[in-house]
A = this chain, B = another copy of it.
Amino acid sequence: MTFLDMLRNATAQNQSMLCVGLDPEPSRFPAAMRGDASKIYDFCAAIVDATADLVNSFKPQIAYFAAHRAEDQLEKLMAHMRAVAPHVPIILDAKRGDIGSTAEQYAKEAFERYGADAVTLSPFMGFDSITPYLQYEGKGAFLLCRTSNPGGDDLQAQRLADLPGQPHLFEHVARLAQGPWNTNGQLGLVVGATRPQEIERVREFAPSLPLLIPGVGAQGGDAVATVKAARIGGGPIIINSSRAVLYASQGDDFAAAARTAAQATRQTLQDAAAA
């Protein structure tokens, strides 16, 4: 089954657009685990168990594992997600971007070593830095398009002089991903939630692509406006929440609190879609 099939199935089965991002920070773990990097797997597995029926995807962020020499725990977590939530696709958030021969190595890491269903990538080095990932049939690849961090404007919001209509750089990325780069229908886009009007712009260029939208919750995006903008065109929607779910409580009840937070966010998103 392709990533897109899994995503559509999980969205329907769990009635959810919510992705839980797994960004484990030992310093924020509940007291019994706090500061203990050897508990990264235990913490994340508890979050997965508590939310597997509430999400359309999980998104482990690899930096949080690599900083703690916890690649083995990430491998174990991938296997755990497969076992307890085989219907939920896993997006490995790695934002890789390198020339073809090196990209082949990163693709091998993401899809063979970790068995991810999709990966996040940077488009800065162009099409041939993307193609090695597309060689893996049915796997998904989300390109950074418009990010909601303060520096997102520095390059992405520049208008391009020589293209018809002088689109912004992020609009150019959206157009490439919807069209010439999307040779096998595997591409999606990462678009921040803090600027719904820019999600609308992205949808003009990329109506049918899956959008991965971080920034609802801790990063302050407006869930209703975000869903409304992202629904234009009909492409699949993934709304990521990480810290607001993971650290809903710093007590022993962290998993139950994560479930409650995920339920609330899922419902907010479903209500927004129905509005």
Contacts of A156 in B (CB 8 A): 124-126
Question: Which of A45-53, A79-87, A161-169, A250-258 sits within the interface?
Answer: A161-169
Residue tally, chain A, CB below 8 Å to B: 53
Q: Which of A5-13, A91-99, A263-271 makes up part of the contact surface?
A: A91-99
Chain B residues in 8 Å Cβ range of A150: 126-128
Q: How far is the CB of A173 from chain B (nearest CB, A)?
A: 7
B127 touches A154 (CB 8 A): yes
**Which residues between 111 and 166 of chain A lie within 8 Å of chain B, taking CB atoms?**
112-113, 122-130, 144, 147, 149-156, 158-163, 166
Q: Which of A36-70 contact B (CB under 8 A)?
A: 61, 63-64, 66-67, 69
- With known contacts A69-B113, A108-B67, A161-B161, A61–B155 Cβ distance under 8 A: no
On whether A161 and B169 interact (CB within 8 A), knowing A67-B109, A97-B97, A126-B154, the answer reads no
Pick the contact of A155: B112, B123, B128 (CB < 8 A).
B123
Residues of B with C-beta under 8 A to A122: 95, 97, 122, 124
CA distance A166 to B161 in the complex (A): 7
Selected A-B contacts with CB under 8 Å, 23 pairs: A64-B102, A64-B105, A67-B109, A67-B112, A69-B71, A69-B113, A95-B97, A95-B122, A97-B124, A97-B144, A99-B147, A124-B155, A125-B149, A126-B154, A127-B151, A128-B149, A128-B150, A129-B149, A155-B172, A155-B173, A158-B163, A159-B161, A169-B169
Contacts A95-B98, A97-B122, A169-B169 known; 12 new A-B pairs at CB < 8 A: A63-B102, A63-B109, A67-B108, A71-B71, A122-B122, A123-B154, A124-B155, A125-B147, A126-B151, A128-B150, A129-B149, A158-B162
